[in-house]
A and B are shown apart, each in its own frame.
Chain A
């Protein structure tokens, strides 16, 4: 029977190989479970650790990395505002982290050809989240705790527990790229 892809897929972390392999570019996903925030400075530090043969501070094999740094948490809330930062800045570190076991990433914007190739090679997945809707996205976060590199302040690695975080699959394990296909669909050649 054909899979109905118009309804969002509810998936829970850890993302198994089976889940990752079954999702296709364009699928909408409601993600629940734990994700780890990490952006520029945390990537630099994780990559440095790996290159020195030291273990990264989080288990890359099971982690979903969310390229994000929330605004400070006001009293009485779980988290401040949160949303994706632009992913290409992490591209230089991503193939190395995928070699170490990383499979799933959340961000916004296109990845480099090298990252797209790594996603295909390691059967990973890159999800897009909508940027600039951070008060709304914060509602999906039910718990937040520090995970590593606390000295990095806003750029520290935090573990977020999310419930039904809306995402769309951008790069799938088959080598598809949603930005390319969708943007070409709407392009008008004047």
Chain B
């Protein structure tokens, strides 16, 4: 017997049942209670908005958030495609079931018991799957003995206005800014402004999209702290997006976006992948660490 094998196992046990329960709670909470950072950003927007109709829209958005929370009703009827980020510590042992199935079951229960809309269908048959599964689950192995689950119900209207493009290295940061602005302008009123704009730069095609989506998890208004060029770009883009005049609900005004959040990583010498993931004003996500 080697010394490694004789060591006592340090795996921490987390039951599949507790994963299911956590996922269920997260999706119901995310769909009925906006996070405080989003509420604060909407309040700041209301102070800045000069358009009378824009102010009315922002007031209604805030009133709705309050009603939804008090009545435990969905903030938006589109309770989303269930996107999850699961970070599993390498010293975690999930017991009593399969992790992905445990997550799926949590989604099923949340959408059934929470009176959330089942918005998934076969892409070609367009037949509803009936329980809002399968979910989109991103699993990452990380150091430690914890399990972190982030639930992000993502609405279809804003996701439809999102896009990715493989720019040339020569396009540079100016090319990135132009692409983001074009995307937001083309989206207009469709994605329920004021929006949050997630930008993913670098990696591969799918990694850029993932970075853009993860950028949407950053608290609203927090700038990128890893790179000054990115935080400057975020500021400049926010100013330019708000100069478009699209405004709350697209009815004209100063506030088209609440924030721009960008993330990046190195990419191939031939490429400059850029993804823009648009989030509507009902910016929902909740997380838990087990």
Contacts and interface: CB of A to CB of B under 8 A. Distances in A.
A81 B75 contact: yes
A130, A181, A186, A188: most-surrounded residue (chain B CB, <10 A): A186
A80 B115 contact: yes
A108 B282 CA distance: 15
B63 interface: yes
**B contact residues, range:** 35 or more
Given A40-B126, A108-B192, A154-B119, A80 B77 contact: yes
B200 interface: no
Given A80-B74, A182-B247, A134 B64 contact: yes
Interface in B144-171: 156-157, 160
Contacts of B21: none
A82 B75 CA distance: 9
Interface residues of A, number: 48
A48 B254 CA distance: 42
B117 A71 contact: yes
A68 B119 CA distance: 12
A133 interface: yes
Contacts of B68: 81, 134-135
A143 B116 CA distance: 20
Interface stretch (B85-93, B218-226, B237-245, B257-265): B237-245
Contacts of A155: 128
Interface string A125-169: 000101111111111000000000000111100000000000010
A86 B75 CA distance: 17
B189 A109 contact: yes
A186 B252 contact: yes
A74 interface: yes
Interface stretch (B53-61, B102-110, B203-211, B269-277): B53-61
A179 B251 CA distance: 6
A137 B240 CA distance: 32
Given A132-B280, A134-B64, A155-B128, A108 B73 contact: no
A188 B245 contact: yes
B71 A135 contact: yes
Contacts of B64: 132-137
Given A68-B77, A131-B157, A186 B245 contact: yes
Contacts of A184: 245, 252
B253 interface: yes
Contacts of B189: 108-110, 128, 179
Contacts of A73: 115
Interface string A96-110: 000000000000111
Nearest to A108: B189
Nearest to B236: A190
Given A41-B126, A135-B73, A190-B240, A153 B118 contact: yes
B278 to A, nearest CB: 12
B250 interface: yes
Contact of B76 (A134, A152, A153): A134
A181 B247 CA distance: 12
Given A135-B71, A186-B253, A71 B245 contact: no
A88 interface: yes
Contacts of B244: 183, 187
A88 B190 contact: yes
A183 B240 contact: no
Question: Which 9 pairs show the lowest CB-CB distances between chains A and B?
Answer: A182-B252, A187-B245, A186-B245, A133-B64, A135-B68, A109-B190, A188-B243, A131-B192, A71-B117
Given A41-B121, A109-B190, A134-B64, 8 more contacts: A80-B74, A110-B250, A132-B280, A132-B281, A134-B74, A135-B64, A155-B128, A186-B252
Interface of A: 40-41, 44, 68-74, 80-83, 85-86, 88, 108-110, 128, 130-139, 152-155, 168, 178-179, 181-190
